Amino acid sequence: MEALIGKKAPSFKANAVINGNEIVEGYSLDQFIGKKDVVLFFYPLDFTFVCPTELLAFQEKLAEFEKRGVAVVGCSVDSQFSHWAWLNTDKNNGGIKGVTYPLVSDMSTTIARNFGVLAGKYNHDTGEFDGAPVAFRGTFLIDKEGVVKHSVVNDLGLGRSVDETLRMVDALHHLEKYGEVCPANWKEGDDAMTPSLTGVADYLSKH
């Protein structure tokens, strides 16, 4: 599928669980347009193995995202009822109790397909699904205008880095605030570059 970078994020309305215990209909990222950046991340399934480590890691860093004005939203092909049950299961029993950011239900797999992270596709010749009807571990950073600025997609067995997601948020905000581009391995507080030959040469002369 064509990359979404620089394009409007696909819009959706779906069932979701918010605040860890409230099921809502018609949840949409449109509510954040003009107000907040969004980190939307996909994961394969509730009640699995790598997934709870990722969801709990996002919760551990949630305050860091929030102080940067960023909303965190998770999404999988599970139902809202599965989400609710998992959110109300203790960690020592494989649950994610304590997670407060929204979890979106994508039972139709439409959202995953539109974002290009569905781990398979329908074979119209056989009428069967080739691959796994779940989402890869896709992470999308969407700015206040609803435009995708960063994405990374991991295979099912490869957990993502929440710290790297935070680094990309910081890089986006630095670019927006100062107009400076961020070089390799840049982190908050490091020197950035003016997007010109003079600016690049000045940066390289210091490093």
Strand partners, 126: none
Distance CA 103, CA 16 (A): 5
75 carries an active-site annotation = no
Distance CA 6, CA 195 (A): 18
Q: Which of the following is catalytic: 4, 29, 51, 117?
A: 51
Distance CA 175, CA 163 (A): 18
Reference 51, options 167, 134, 142, 169; nearest CA is 134
Strand partners, 151: 140
Distance CA 85, CA 1 (A): 33
Strand partners, 138: 153
Residues taking part in catalysis: 51
